[in-house]
Amino acid sequence: MKHTIVHFEIPADDVDRARAFYTQLLGWQISSSPGFEDYWVIQTGEEGKDLAGGVMKRQAPGQGPINYVQVESVEEYAAKVEQLGGKVIMPKHPVSGMGWFAHCQDTEGNVFGLWEDDPSAA
Query: The pTM is what?
Result: 0.90
Q: Are residues 120 and 79 in the same domain?
A: yes
Domain that holds residue 40: 8-63
Note the pLDDT tens digit of each residue in 13-53: 999 999 999 999 999 999 998 888 889 999 998 777 788 89
Note the pLDDT tens digit of each residue in 102-122: 999 999 999 999 999 999 999
CA atoms within 13 A on the CB side of 105: 9
What is the pLDDT at residue 103?
97
Burial of residue 37 (number of CB atoms within 10 Å: 0-12, 13-18, 19+): exposed
Has residue 2 been placed in a domain? no
Amino acid in the structure at residue 98: M
What is the pLDDT at residue 33?
86
For residue 65, which of 4, 3, 2, 5 has the smallest C-alpha distance? 5
- Give the chain's domain count: 2
